[in-house]
Amino acid sequence: MQSIHILVGTTSGNTEFLAGELEIALQAEGHTTTFHDLPAIHEIPTEGLWLLCVATHGAGEYAESIVQFMEDLAQQQPNLAAVRYALVAIGDSSYDTYCQAGLDADQLLSQLGATRVADILTIDMMLDPAPETTATKWLENWQDHRGA
Ligand SMILES: Cc1cc2nc3c(=O)[nH]c(=O)nc-3n(C[C@H](O)[C@H](O)[C@H](O)COP(=O)(O)O)c2cc1C
């Protein structure tokens, strides 16, 4: 059983809903979760397992709720060597900057020393008829890694 911090990057709520579904699935497996709908750098320990769900807005920019957190990470450059993470990037493939915020978050976390434990899941809100199902299936696929 793990303690998992869920970090949400949303502007209009879709990603918060999706992250909530993932939280339910994780809790059903017996994990403890902490849900950060407005992630704050001083509230999230720089160790353990993070699950980031990050929507792209603007022209490839972070969704509102996670802008400050990402800026703080970039400025303060904490050592994230003890952090493992998985990442769901939410976007719309009609944009040239498809899921760019999620990809930028991945790059920043890895620069700071964190280790990604699963392939990034990109979710196309334009084309995917059941994003929550896609995400929960992906979650099952990296179940084994969560203990690693
Ligand atoms: C103004 C606006 C700009 C957007 N820009 C992008 C973008 O650059 N790249 C992308 O992949 N998706 C983009 N999207 C799609 C959003 O990521 C998608 O609507 C997503 O469901 C929003 O999630 P949220 O409700 O959690 O904020 C944009 C959506 C809006 C409304």
Q: How far is the CA of 1 from the centre of ligand 1 (A)?
A: 33
Q: Quick check: is 3 in a domain?
A: no
Q: Is the pTM of this model over 0.75?
A: yes
Please tell me the number of Cα atoms within 13 Å of 110 on its side-chain side: 12
For residue 148, what pLDDT band results from cuts at 50, 70 and 90?
A: very low
Q: How far is the CA of 73 from the centre of ligand 1 (A)?
A: 22
Q: How many other CB atoms are there within 10 angstroms of residue 15's CB atom?
A: 27
Ligand 1 contact via 15 beta carbon (within 6 Å)? yes
Of all protein residues, whose CA lies closest to atom 28 belonging to ligand 1? 57
Query: Each residue of 57-76: pLDDT tens digit?
Result: 999 999 999 999 999 999 99
Q: Print the domain residue range for 98.
A: 8-147
Ligand 1 contact via 92 beta carbon (within 6 Å)? yes
Q: How far is the CA of 89 from the centre of ligand 1 (A)?
A: 11
> In this structure, what CATH number is given to the domain that contains residue 89?
3.40.50.360
Among 6-15, 77-86, 133-142, which stretch is predicted with the lowest mean pLDDT? Answer: 133-142
Count of the separate structural domains present in the chain: 1
Q: How far is the CA of 98 from the centre of ligand 1 (A)?
A: 9
Q: Say if residue 130's pLDDT is above 90.
A: yes
Distance of alpha carbon 20 from alpha carbon 26, whole angstroms: 10
Query: Each residue of 75-117: pLDDT tens digit?
Result: 999 999 999 999 999 999 999 999 999 999 999 999 999 999 9
Q: Quick check: is 1 in a domain?
A: no
Taking the alpha carbons at both ends of the chain, their separation in whole angstroms is 11
Q: Quick check: is 44 in a domain?
A: yes
Ligand 1 contact via 65 beta carbon (within 6 Å)? no
